Amino acid sequence: MLFRKIAGFGFIFLAGFLLMFTILSYSDWKYEDELVQHISAEVTTRCKSNDLSCLADTAMYYTHLMQNPMKNLFGNKTFTSPKTLFTHSSFSNFYFGKGACGAYASFYARLMARAGYRSKFVIMNGPGREGMHITIVLEQNNKLLLVDPFYGIVYRNANNEMVEIDTVAKYWNTYYAAQTPTGYTKLYNYQYGWKYTNWGKLGLVSKVIYRATAFFVGKEKTEKFSLRYYMIRLNHAIVLIGAGSFVLSLLIAFRLFRPEIRALREYFRNRKNYKYSSS
C-alpha cells in the first residue's frame, strides 16, 4: 500500500516535469519553425523560377548571414546551461555559436527542405579517421549534388552546373579543389570515402541498429540512409516524445491510485444520493 502510493506520487511528479519540459520544447520548436519559415520565404522570393541552382546559392547566403555572427561571437565561449545539453538541432550554432560544420549543414538542410528539396548529410572520412567534416548532398532526379554549407561552397562544373559528389571526388585534384576558399582544410578532399550515417558513433547500439536495418531493407539502402536528416527538427521529435511520456506517466499514476479514485467517486456519489433523500 505504502509503496504503491509513493510510486503514484512519483509518477505524478514525473508527469508534471514532463508537461513543463514539453511546453518549453514546444516553445523552442515553434520559434525555430517560424524563423525557418520566414527565412525560407525570403529564399524562394529571390528565386522566382524555383531553380535549384538559385535556391542553393540563396540558402547558402542566408545560412551564413544567420550563423556566422553567432559563431564569431560565441564560438570560443563556454556555456553550462542545460540548453546546451538538450539543444542539438539545426539551431545549435544560432543559439550559442557551437556546432561548426554540423550546425551549418543542419541549418542549410532545413532551409532546403522548406524549399522542397531533400538532402543527405555527408560524413567525410580522412586518413585513419572517420567523421572529419560534414557536408550536404541535395537530391534531384536521382542525383546527389554536393554543397559545403560550412565553407559556403556550391560545387559546379565548367558549365556552371551543380555536380554530384562522385564527380567532385573523382576530379578533386584536377578541378574542384580550386573552388575551395582560403583557409579550407586540405584534408577534406573526398579521397578517403564518406558515409551518410555514422553507424559506429554509438558503439554497439548503433551497430546493432545498422545490422537490423540492413537485414530488413538491404545493405545498400541502409548505407545510403541519412539518419541526421531526420534529426534537423529535433525539437519537434522531443515535443512528441515528451507529450507521449506525460500521458503515459499520468495514466500509470491514475492506475496506481485507482482504489483512492474509486473511493472518492463513491464518496461523492453517496453524498449526492444523501442530499436527494434528505430533500
Q: HSE (CB half, 13 Å, CA atoms) of 80?
A: 0
What span, in angstroms and rounded, lies between the C-alpha atoms of 16 and 176?
55
The residues, any chain, with a CB within 8 Å of residue 127's CB and separated by 6 or more, are 187, 192
Question: Would you say 253 and 12 are in contact if contact means Cβ atoms under 8 Å apart?
Answer: yes
- HEC secondary structure over 166-214: HHHHHCCCCCHHHHCCCCCCCCCCCCCCEECCCCCCCCHHHHHHHHHHH
Residue 137 pairs with which residues in a beta bridge?
120, 146
- Residue 258 in grid coordinates: 485507482
Task: Please give the pLDDT value at position 79.
Answer: 80
Question: Would you say 138 and 119 are in contact if contact means Cβ atoms under 8 Å apart?
Answer: yes
Angle at 77 between CA 74 and CA 82, to 5 degrees: 95
Task: Please give the pLDDT value at position 88.
Answer: 61
* Sheet hosting strand 143-148, strand order edge to edge: 153-154, 143-148, 129-140, 119-126, 194-195
- Burial of 147 from C-beta contacts in 10 A (0-12 / 13-18 / 19+): buried
Task: Please give the pLDDT value at position 86.
Answer: 63
Q: What is the pTM of this model?
A: 0.83
Query: Which residue in the block uniquely carries the three cell numbers 554536393?
Result: 146
Chunked into runs of 10 residues, the chain (279 residues) has average pLDDT values of 79 90 87 91 91 96 91 84 68 76 92 94 89 94 96 96 97 96 94 88 74 82 84 80 91 84 74 59
- Burial of 11 from C-beta contacts in 10 A (0-12 / 13-18 / 19+): buried
Task: Please give the pLDDT value at position 276.
Answer: 57
What span, in angstroms and rounded, lies between the C-alpha atoms of 227 and 188?
22
Task: Please give the pLDDT value at position 167.
Answer: 97
Question: Would you say 25 and 239 are in contact if contact means Cβ atoms under 8 Å apart?
Answer: yes
Residue 190 pairs with which residues in a beta bridge?
none
Question: Would you say 107 and 228 are in contact if contact means Cβ atoms under 8 Å apart?
Answer: no
What span, in angstroms and rounded, lies between the C-alpha atoms of 165 and 83?
35
